[in-house]
Amino acid sequence: METEFICYNRKGLEAILPHRGAALRKIDGALYNSIAPRTMVGVKEIGIDDPDLEGHFPGAPTYPGYAQDEFACLIAAALIPNIDKNLKYEPHVVQKNVRYKKNVVPGDTLTAEVRLLGRKGRFYIFSAEIKNQRSEIVAEYEKIVGAV
């Protein structure tokens, strides 16, 4: 059996996701390995000039929860075409449940591991964990629902 390892940059993600522009800037890249076909890992480096930091919060910049959500959801959406090679529709996320654990600040590098838990019809159910470069959990997603 041949192992398939795929490393997606933003251009590669454009080929499998409908997102563009500011939405796609929430992720720097993603890794898929066919040995663990129900899992995908994404990476995002938070720079001091990241547009999502604007206004969150002056004097103590903090990467907002909505941007972390989009990061995890983009990875979930990118995992769907790797699971189902015969998709007829573009993948997107329709619901999420999350608990934030730690602040994310400029200089942090986030990794998110998204796992497929199951599928019901056209809906995919995922869990996810976002960690910083110190392996500290910054957000836990009990449930992400993706659809095609």
> Model confidence over 91-126: pLDDT tens digits?
888 889 999 999 999 999 999 999 999 999 889 999
> Model confidence over 3-29: pLDDT tens digits?
789 999 999 999 999 899 999 999 999
Q: Quick one: average pLDDT of 65-85?
A: 93
- Structural domains of the chain in order of their starting residue, each with its CATH number: 5-147 (3.10.129.10)
Give the burial class of 99: count Cβ atoms within 10 A of its Cβ; 0-12 exposed, 13-18 middle, 19 or more buried.
exposed
56: annotated active-site residue = yes
Global pTM?
Answer: 0.93
Residue 109's alpha-carbon distances to 25, 29, 106, 128, 133, in angstroms, are: 14, 12, 9, 16, 5
> Omega of the bond prior to 57 within 30 degrees of 0, cis?
yes
Q: Please pick, among 10, 12, 33, 56, the residue that the annotation labels catalytic.
A: 56
Q: Quick one: average pLDDT of 133-144?
A: 96
pLDDT of residue 89: 81
